[in-house]
Amino acid sequence: MMVTTMSSQRRAMPARVRGALTHLRDRDTRDALRSALTAARANRRRPVAAAPFRCPCCSGDTFETIRVLWPELIEAWNVGPAEVDYINRGQGLTCATCGSRLRSMALAHAVMAKLNLGLPFSALSLRHPLLRILEVNRAGELTQFLRAFSGHVLAEYPAVDMMRLPYDDQSFDVVLHSDTLEHVPDPRRAMCECLRVTRPHGFVAFTTPIIHGRLTRSRLGLPDSFHGYEGAVEPDLRVETEFGADLWAEVLAAGAASCEFVSLEFPAGVAVVAEATSAR
């Protein structure tokens, strides 16, 4: 294991809106409605002092923040005040220029560090236009930049199951996902699939909520817990695994040649990079 260091989601929604979201079956419509609600709520965000970095996605230097955790999720997750603070920061610190949250910024920073490029993520397609990139579900706010690649594929649940990716072996140079692995019933199988479709010495980069002070636990047998927004009940938002400091072991057990934790800001902004092995 290697460690590299560099120094909106949703709050409670009105009950009537929450109910409408629960019964929507069209994912695009549901996402569009949530985006509209987020935009309408923008004036409730608090400007914050400049972060100790520029946005790795666009080089912006103005940020806003919003608290995203709610009491029921805090109780289900069994996290303390310090953990609540860094989870809120990772999910709620937002670049005012491009809209990327800290978790997306951390993922972008990890990709650029792996490629040894000192550029904003928005310029990646200019330097590596031929990269074949698989995005498993929307990788936070990075989709807007990934669309510039002709070799970009967006695979979204339920049309594509992360545990059974419908792609040939070694089809992609890079596989990205953000805050998805914790919702998959078998995260090791999902990681195996991501590594399978990655070319030798390519890499999988992702974020997932990590409670750094404890070990990973499955929520099998525990009451249902959902991420996303207060009152969420959609199956794809149900939490299957709560990852801890031993996440590296899960990645290596899935067959990765190496596992690197890349920190834009510890502990709130950490991404994981798993390199695919050449012997497969």
Q: pLDDT per residue over 61-104, tens digit each?
A: 999 999 999 999 999 999 999 999 999 999 999 999 999 999 99
Are the beta carbons of 170 and 195 closer than 8 angstroms? Answer: no
Chain mean position to CA 17: 25
| Rounded Cα distance, 4 and 213, in Å | 18
pTM for the model stands at 0.84
In a domain, 195, yes or no: yes
The predicted pLDDT at position 278 comes to 75
Cα–Cα distance list, 178 to 51, 186, 216 (Å):
21, 16, 18
On average, the pLDDT of the chain sits at: 88
Please state, for a pLDDT cut of 70, what percent of the chain lies above it: 81
Q: pLDDT per residue over 182-231, tens digit each?
A: 999 999 999 999 999 999 999 999 999 999 999 999 999 999 999 999 99
Q: Where would I find the H helices in the chain?
A: 15-23, 27-40, 71-77, 81-92, 102-114, 124-127, 143-146, 187-196, 247-253
Q: pLDDT per residue over 107-144, tens digit each?
A: 999 999 999 999 999 999 999 999 999 999 999 999 99
| Rounded Cα distance, 157 and 27, in Å | 9
Q: The domain that contains 28 carries what CATH number?
A: 3.40.50
The predicted pLDDT at position 277 comes to 86
Which tokens go with 171?
Answer: 């089809």
Q: Indicate the number of domains in the chain.
A: 1
For residue 260, the tally of other CB atoms under 10 A from its CB is: 21
Torsion region of 76: left, alpha or beta (phi above 0 gives left; psi -120 to 50 gives alpha): alpha
The predicted pLDDT at position 133 comes to 98
In a domain, 139, yes or no: yes
> Cβ contacts of residue 161 below 8 Å, gap of 6+?
none
Cα–Cα distance list, 114 to 16, 220, 262 (Å):
45, 34, 9
E-state strands within the chain: 2-5, 46-48, 63-65, 94-95, 133-136, 152-155, 172-178, 198-207, 210-211, 217-218, 241-244, 258-265, 269-275
Range of the domain at 75: 2-275
In a domain, 280, yes or no: no
CA angle 70, 52, 245 (to 5 degrees): 55
pLDDT band at 18 (very low <50, low <70, confident <90, very high): very low
In a domain, 148, yes or no: yes
